[in-house]
């Protein structure tokens, strides 16, 4: 509990987390409101809760950067050594950091999701935006969970790479390039895609949603249902974090 307080003080006594939170929210809610305001009335029946989340990846990337920086700046400025001097067993301090950062990312994720959905309802009150089915609830409220888990993953990458630029570049290249290019490999590409972490994590949000051109795309024939997908994604994120913990414990600070 004290270590959670410590990590909270650390996170909020610098300015970059605040900026990341503001940018993540402004980016997603802003893009959604532009989208909502420019939707033609003939397209309105297709303006579903899923479509209001079309921009969630942008906010997600920003929060992943925040999570990565939460650990890499500690290495950059050697405060990680002060941290390990205070908590020489190391693991509790890093777990506390993961909990604080992940919770914060989860909360920001929910704010961006509900904010995007809410602003869309305000701008287009006639669109079919009420949340009725479990799938529609997941479409909106599921976003926060993906933010939360992705923050753990980003923190793990930061812990393994220990260098801000390197870690962020690895994450962006993987998330924005590799996950989109690997499925293009002939024959095995499609099969591969079904096991890519972000594709599976995304499946938790979009599984079972009606066909749409605008929201986050649903992939056909995923191996898991929504909650199975979430569990798989969580396993990947936590697994990577455990590797980061082991490395942090074994390496010289």
Binding site for another protein (CB under 8 A): 2-3, 5-6, 9-10, 13-16, 73, 77-79, 81-89, 93, 250, 252-253
101 or 240: CB nearest another protein: 101
Least CB distance to another protein at residue 87 (A)? 6
163 or 212: CB nearest another protein: 163
Least CB distance to another protein at residue 96 (A)? 9
Handedness of CA 239, 176, 168, 162 (dihedral sign): positive
- C-alpha distances in angstroms, 222 versus 127, 136, 192, 197, 203? 29, 19, 11, 12, 8
* Contact criterion met (CB below 8 Å) for 154 and 198: no
Handedness of CA 232, 238, 240, 243 (dihedral sign): negative
Least CB distance to another protein at residue 100 (A)? 12
| Measured distance between the N- and C-terminal CA atoms of the chain, rounded to whole angstroms | 24
Handedness of CA 86, 88, 91, 92 (dihedral sign): negative
101 or 200: CB nearest another protein: 101
Least CB distance to another protein at residue 250 (A)? 8
92 or 210: CB nearest another protein: 92
């Amino acid at each position: 509990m004290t270590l959670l307080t410590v990590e909270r003080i650390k996170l909020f006594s610098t300015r970059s987390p605040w900026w990341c939170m503001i940018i993540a929210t402004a980016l997603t809610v802003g893009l959604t409101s532009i989208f909502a305001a420019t939707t033609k009335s003939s397209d309105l029946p297709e303006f579903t809760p899923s479509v209001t989340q079309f921009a969630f990846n942008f906010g997600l990337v920003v929060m992943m950067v925040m999570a990565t920086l939460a650990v890499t700046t500690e290495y950059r400025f050697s405060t990680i050594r002060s941290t390990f001097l205070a908590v020489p067993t190391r693991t509790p301090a890093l777990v506390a950091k993961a909990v604080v950062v992940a919770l914060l990312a989860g909360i920001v994720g929910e704010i961006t999701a509900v904010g995007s959905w809410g602003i869309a309802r305000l701008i287009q009150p006639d669109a079919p935006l009420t949340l009725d089915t479990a799938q529609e609830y997941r479409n909106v409220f599921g976003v926060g969970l993906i933010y939360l888990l992705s923050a753990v993953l980003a923190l793990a990458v930061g812990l393994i790479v220990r260098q801000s630029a390197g870690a962020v570049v690895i994450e962006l290249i993987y998330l924005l390039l590799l996950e989109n290019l690997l499925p293009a490999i002939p024959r095995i590409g499609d099969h591969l895609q079904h096991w890519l972490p972000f594709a599976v994590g995304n499946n938790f949000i979009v599984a079972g949603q009606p066909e749409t051109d605008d929201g986050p795309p649903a992939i056909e024939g995923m191996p898991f249902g929504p909650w199975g997908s979430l569990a798989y994604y969580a396993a990947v994120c936590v697994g990577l974090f455990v590797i980061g913990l082991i490395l942090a414990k074994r390496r010289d600070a």
